[in-house]
Structures are given as structure tokens and as C-alpha cells.
Amino acid sequence: MLGSGTIFRLGIAKALGKMSYKTILTQLFFVLIYADGHVNEHERCSGKSLIKSEGLNEEEFNVQLELLKSKDRPTVLADSVKALKRLDRDQQIRVIAWLCVVANGDGFMDRMEWQLIYQIYHKELNLPLEEIFKVQKELNRFSREKVFA
């Protein structure tokens, strides 16, 4: 259960129109895992790696995912991309790299997942794919180390 302090902080950040890196990452993770209409076990495992790597609170992450189920996904995406544009370039690249790790978690990136990622990194942010791949490789290494540790 989320404490009132956590709910208060989330409400204040939203009221001020600011989303943290972690909130943006969580929301885009949500949009991505539902892009193809279903969530698989590989995506869930990637989520656990994301939680550990980014220092997210697992309970808050799961609560946020549950709350997002009742939201309009196109609005969540639009709000998240708008907030993502306010992050520094390195954070933008890291978010996109995480989306790639999650989408490739089962060994295959679905067409809808690819379209979503492409829209964000290329059309919205104009980020270089080479830099995304570099960070994705590091995140994949981290994910494997945690799974096999």
C-alpha cells in the first residue's frame, strides 16, 4: 500500500506539470508492454530488471502500472513524450534503450512495439540510433547479470 506521502508527492508533481524520469520510464514501459495487446512473461522479467537497475520502488511501480490501466493510453503516451522532451539527452536515450530492451525481451520486437519506439526516438526526439544501441547493450548486459547472478 502506498503511503500518503507517496501519493502526495505524485499528486504534487502531476499538478506542477512535472514528471520525474522514473515516472516517465514507468509510463512508457506501460504503453509499450500493452502496444501489441498482451503482456508476456519476458516483458514482466524486463520490468523487474528495469526496477532493479533504475532503483525504482517495486511496490510503487506496480501500483502505478495498475492505475495506468484505467487511463486513456494515447493520452498517457502523449503526456509521457511531452515530459520526456524535458529530460536531458542522456536520460532520453536511456529511456528509449530500456524500451528496446523490453521489446526485445522475448527475442522479437513486435511491429507495434517498433512503431512506438521509432515514433518516439526518431520523430519526436530525433535521437541517434547508434547511441541508443550502445546504452541498450549495457542494459542488456546488466539484465543478464541480474538474472544469472
Write down the pLDDT at residue 144. 63
Residues 6+ apart with CB under 8 A from 116: 31, 32, 35, 77, 99
* pLDDT greater at residue 67 or residue 17: 67
Please, which pLDDT band fits residue 138 given cuts at 50, 70 and 90? very high
- Please give the tally of structural domains in the chain: 1
Write down the pLDDT at residue 17. 57
Separation between Cα atoms, residue 99 and residue 60, nearest integer Å: 19
Residues 6+ apart with CB under 8 A from 20: 13
CATH code of 30's domain = 1.10.3680.10
Residue 102's domain comprises: 4-148
Say if CB 33 and CB 39 are below 8 A apart: yes
What pLDDT, in 10s, does the model give residues 68-83? 999 999 999 999 999 9
